[in-house]
């Protein structure tokens, strides 16, 4: 994207100028430029500028703390009664469906997701990892200000079923606190990392005031199926009141998202957030 290139060159020039002047140290200059960069990127989300947006996939490195901890088949964990105390609303006169994105935010991918959703006037739900939210708070604010729902997805993305109760509570509370500091609002929905949970996790989630939300359809976008198969899988398996699991930080998800939206719309689906689907 042209604007991002201009910003990048501006930050580099500013960084070199600060160091060469001798007025500040290299560390201080880097910190100042980084803050300026985040502020400029955040402002770009509020602008109405349109045009082609270049992807920067080659610059992306997935942080170790959010790597998937083994494959989890959703059918082993999915029971409608455990998704939430409030059941999805399958209104006869409306075909409702919710897109949900896990494991973000990511510096290069999340902005692309937000642009696609904005261009197609779709509201979604982002289940974010606390450590990533603190790393890129301006992306959380961008999601929130765009009308998307922000959910809790633990702080470090651990396997909760193998943790002690106090550790489980800490993971959930720390992520919730991070989201609240950034948005000013405590999240109401929780999704366990990897869809992994047991009775202890369910009890703790409820005691902390969250509604636990899983999914009715796993896109398997992290399995490198290819764009065509991801879109086809979602088209064939979607149903009224459905919750679709996707991931923030996956190249194929970015490529497939426009087609996913277009195909489901052509079949009469209306995209809603988890708030709207389950009832506030």
- The residues annotated as belonging to the active site are 102, 247
Q: Can you tell me which residue has the tokens 């209306």?
A: 270
CB 211 within 8 A of CB 86: yes
Whole-angstrom Cα Rg for the chain? 20
What is the rounded CA–CA span in Å between residue 185 and residue 241? 26
Beta-strand pair 95-104/269-271: parallel
Q: Tell me the Ramachandran region of residue 22: left when phi exceeds 0, alpha when psi lies from -120 to 50, beta otherwise.
A: left
What is the rounded CA–CA span in Å between residue 270 and residue 265? 7
Q: According to DSSP H, which parts of 150-226 are helical?
A: 165-183, 199-207
């Amino acid at each position: 994207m042209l604007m991002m290139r201009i910003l990048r060159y501006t930050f580099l020039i500013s960084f070199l100028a600060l160091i060469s002047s001798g007025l500040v140290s290299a560390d201080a200059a880097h910190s100042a430029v980084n803050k300026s960069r985040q502020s400029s990127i955040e402002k770009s989300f509020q602008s109405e500028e349109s045009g082609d947006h270049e992807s920067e996939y080659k610059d992306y490195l997935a942080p170790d703390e959010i790597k998937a901890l083994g494959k989890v088949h959703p059918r082993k964990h999915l029971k409608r009664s455990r998704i939430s105390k409030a059941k999805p609303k399958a209104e006869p006169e409306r075909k409702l469906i919710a897109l949900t994105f896990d494991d973000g935010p990511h510096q290069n991918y999340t902005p692309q997701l937000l642009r696609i959703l904005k261009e197609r006037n779709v509201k979604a739900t982002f289940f974010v990892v606390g450590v990533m939210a603190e790393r890129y708070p301006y992306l959380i604010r961008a999601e929130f200000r765009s009308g998307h729902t922000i959910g809790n997805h633990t702080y470090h993305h651990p396997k909760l079923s193998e943790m002690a109760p106090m550790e489980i509570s800490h993971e959930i509370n720390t992520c919730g606190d991070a989201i609240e500091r950034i948005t000013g609002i405590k999240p109401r929905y929780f999704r366990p990392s990897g869809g992994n949970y047991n009775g202890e996790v369910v009890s703790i989630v409820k005691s902390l005031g969250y509604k636990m939300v899983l999914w009715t359809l796993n896109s398997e976008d992290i399995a490198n199926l290819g764009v065509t198969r991801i879109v086809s899988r979602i088209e064939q398996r979607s149903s009224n009141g459905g919750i679709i699991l996707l991931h923030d930080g996956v190249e194929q998800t970015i490529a497939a998202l426009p087609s996913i939206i277009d195909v489901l719309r052509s079949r009469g689906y209306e995209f809603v957030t988890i708030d709207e689907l389950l009832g506030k």
